[in-house]
Chain A
């Protein structure tokens, strides 16, 4: 190597360091070995996952908990395809992740070489952008672009595919190109005219309502939102992704809307005359049947992504831009308003329709209730299924970025690795994973990673030996014809955890719940509590009809 020269791999590691990367969640392979060789001399810490999907979820969990870009890395071929579920999960929930993959040498691309797959081709629809690097001298600029794209505008995953020979190629720094993002200009500031119109609409509204979505959390707009609902006395409800946008004990907070939404929230949507939807994309699980959604309301749709405006629900007033920016602009000019009657009405609906699950015994709602009493503003990570809906309703969160869940893609297996990533990002906070027995088994091997790097997460397995949400849907919509949802009494999750080096606790009695959780929070070790549930109770409310107001509760 001549003076002033460096390899592609070295340039990559240097560029990652310049981007402020502290951790890479990865799994090595033949096509990434030159990068690993360089990582040995770097300040970046590598965390070895036990499957590449886990590496991607860890990077995603890290990003969601901290707001910083999470980085994952995998080798070519199967390494890259194993990342796919994790990347798609991050994409659907607009989580800033940079994924690095090794690729076979450029001379072999297209030859069906060993461990070759068209990674950039496969990931086009699930990334915000991706790159196949052909020259090592492009690496510094591409890494800078990738981090910029991932973390600005509507955030999302960016993948960089680097052939092995490019990792080894030598180049001089002066050969590097400059970054070029001519075609990328996200709109951040809301149009002042639209903001003026929004303020006017809010002033004239009798029954205004705010729907807070994931965009409020991602743009750190909670403070502005809380100030706005107070000043203009507007009730607020949320989507699954927007749960941590407002403290859940706020007097103007009426819970989640949608298919598994609270009755008060769905009633509010139905009766509001003005809806301010911030960072929401009106997915089908949120709206229910489109024809009956919010018929009385004019909708102000605030979103950073112009493609979301009027995609599913026509916006009366679109405002494209960053939620934080726009909400603070509205806040500046909005006068103090009162909507006492409207709020009282919603409070009466809420009082008439409390949550009805059994808060005793070894049941998911009761375990979550006890968890809330014992923990101190933890980061709650959930998996996907019935326990996820119970977690939304029974665990009131206090601050933003405190409820991490796979909302868009609904990826079972998300929670264990995402909790690991989150704990790495926010070491001083408790990180509790609420999982089902089905979802836990999908990625539980990642616990070995938590043990290896001493990442003390607490995993609560709601074990009914059953795929709960499937069971519930077959119960309600398929005439109780239960198919393929019985997991049988095979796995002892506590012993499984112990075999992976974690602490395992089995709970079968109510009085064991609190001590087990306290033990898991204080022992400083990754811990799994296997709660043997006493019944297969369904997660309600659940919309069953042609509008959000036809439901079982």
Chain B
């Protein structure tokens, strides 16, 4: 099963190695990992998406909680959280396809953030399914390069109120 793990930790060198090591040691492949600053100074929040055995993952969650630099670990339930992902897609735009592409851009609420020499860079934001959809639609055209940020997630309601 797929899990979204949210980790609040100290923002210091090496913390990423400590966290990712606990996953790799047990053979989990991290699907996505995002990290950034938070509202608290010197603290960062990781959102890690992994697929794997629930029991083993629960073990990893407990091990993560034991790291000295980790303050909080949550295995987030999708229905109780807001999830977002961001993607950049560089696409070749021929004269005859321009109209169709613009329609898709409108449909998936993408934006053109760069255009040069018949190449556009589009940005799309939404939950993972929305990003998947956008990729599916743009796949009929020539995607030159693309990148997804991986998921970020926050639980709804008062922090820590979700059990």
Contacts of A132 in B (CB 8 A): 13-14
Chain B residue nearest to A134 in the complex (CB): B13
Interface pair A181/B68, CB less than 8 Å apart: yes
Q: Is B17 an interface residue (CB 8 A)?
A: yes
Contacts of B66 in A (CB 8 A): 305, 307
Contacts of B115 in A (CB 8 A): none
Closest beta carbon of chain A to B10's beta carbon, Å = 7
Interface pair A183/B67, CB less than 8 Å apart: yes
Which stretch (A32-40, A77-85, A119-127) binds chain B?
A: A119-127
Contacts of B18 in A (CB 8 A): 124
Contacts of B70 in A (CB 8 A): 183
Per the 8 Å Cβ criterion, residues 15-32 of B in contact with A are 17-18, 21, 25
Interface pair B68/A149, CB less than 8 Å apart: yes
Alpha-carbon separation in the docked complex, A182 to B13 (Å): 17
Alpha-carbon separation in the docked complex, A129 to B13 (Å): 14
Chain B residue nearest to A120 in the complex (CB): B14
Alpha-carbon separation in the docked complex, A128 to B18 (Å): 11
Interface pair A183/B10, CB less than 8 Å apart: yes
Alpha-carbon separation in the docked complex, A465 to B9 (Å): 53
Contacts of A183 in B (CB 8 A): 9-10, 67-71
Closest beta carbon of chain A to B56's beta carbon, Å = 10
Closest beta carbon of chain B to A335's beta carbon, Å = 34
Interface pair B14/A129, CB less than 8 Å apart: no
Closest beta carbon of chain B to A39's beta carbon, Å = 28
Contacts of B65 in A (CB 8 A): 306-307
Per the 8 Å Cβ criterion, residues 301-360 of A in contact with B are 305-307, 311
Contacts of A114 in B (CB 8 A): none
A182 and B71 contact, Cβ closer than 8 Å, known pairs A124-B21, A306-B62, A306-B65:
yes
Interface pair A124/B17, CB less than 8 Å apart: yes
Closest beta carbon of chain A to B84's beta carbon, Å = 26
Per the 8 Å Cβ criterion, residues 60-103 of B in contact with A are 62-63, 65-71
Contacts of B14 in A (CB 8 A): 120, 124, 132
* Contact indicator per residue, chain A 530-546, by CB within 8 Å of chain B (1) or not (0): 00000000000000000
Chain A residue nearest to B67 in the complex (CB): A183
The one of B25, B59, B63, B68 in contact with A129, judged by C-beta atoms closer than 8 angstroms, is B68
Contacts of B17 in A (CB 8 A): 121, 124
Chain B residue nearest to A132 in the complex (CB): B14
A184 and B63 contact, Cβ closer than 8 Å, known pairs A121-B17, A125-B21, A132-B14:
no
Number of contacting residues on A, CB 8 A? 16
Per the 8 Å Cβ criterion, residues 122-173 of A in contact with B are 124-125, 128-129, 132, 149
Per the 8 Å Cβ criterion, residues 168-188 of A in contact with B are 181-184
Chain A residue nearest to B61 in the complex (CB): A307
Contacts of A124 in B (CB 8 A): 14, 17-18, 21
Interface pair B68/A184, CB less than 8 Å apart: yes
Per the 8 Å Cβ criterion, residues 368-397 of A in contact with B are none
Chain A residue nearest to B70 in the complex (CB): A183
Alpha-carbon separation in the docked complex, A128 to B63 (Å): 11
* Contact indicator per residue, chain A 419-437, by CB within 8 Å of chain B (1) or not (0): 0000000000000000000
Contacts of A149 in B (CB 8 A): 68
Alpha-carbon separation in the docked complex, A128 to B67 (Å): 8
Closest beta carbon of chain A to B55's beta carbon, Å = 8
Chain B residue nearest to A153 in the complex (CB): B66
Alpha-carbon separation in the docked complex, A383 to B9 (Å): 40
Chain A residue nearest to B64 in the complex (CB): A307
Per the 8 Å Cβ criterion, residues 445-467 of A in contact with B are none
Alpha-carbon separation in the docked complex, A307 to B63 (Å): 6
Alpha-carbon separation in the docked complex, A70 to B13 (Å): 27
The one of A120, A121, A181, A311 in contact with B59, judged by C-beta atoms closer than 8 angstroms, is A311
Contacts of B25 in A (CB 8 A): 125
Name the residue among A121, A124, A128 with the largest chain B CB count within 10 angstroms. Answer: A124
Chain A residue nearest to B72 in the complex (CB): A183
Interface pair B68/A307, CB less than 8 Å apart: no
Contacts of B9 in A (CB 8 A): 183
Contacts of A305 in B (CB 8 A): 66
Closest beta carbon of chain B to A149's beta carbon, Å = 7
Closest beta carbon of chain B to A87's beta carbon, Å = 16
Closest beta carbon of chain B to A534's beta carbon, Å = 46
Alpha-carbon separation in the docked complex, A124 to B22 (Å): 10
Contacts of A182 in B (CB 8 A): 10, 71
Instruction: Known A-B contacts: A124-B14, A307-B59, A307-B63. Give 14 more (CB < 8 A).
Output: A121-B17, A124-B17, A128-B68, A149-B68, A182-B10, A183-B9, A183-B10, A183-B70, A183-B71, A184-B68, A305-B66, A307-B62, A307-B66, A311-B59
Closest 10 CB pairs of A and B: A307-B62, A129-B68, A183-B71, A184-B68, A307-B63, A183-B70, A306-B62, A183-B68, A183-B69, A124-B18
Residues of B within 8 A of A (CB): 9-10, 13-14, 17-18, 21, 25, 59, 62-63, 65-71
Residues of A within 8 A of B (CB): 120-121, 124-125, 128-129, 132, 149, 181-184, 305-307, 311
7 intermolecular pairs with C-beta atoms under 8 Å apart: A120-B14, A132-B13, A183-B68, A306-B65, A307-B62, A307-B66, A311-B59
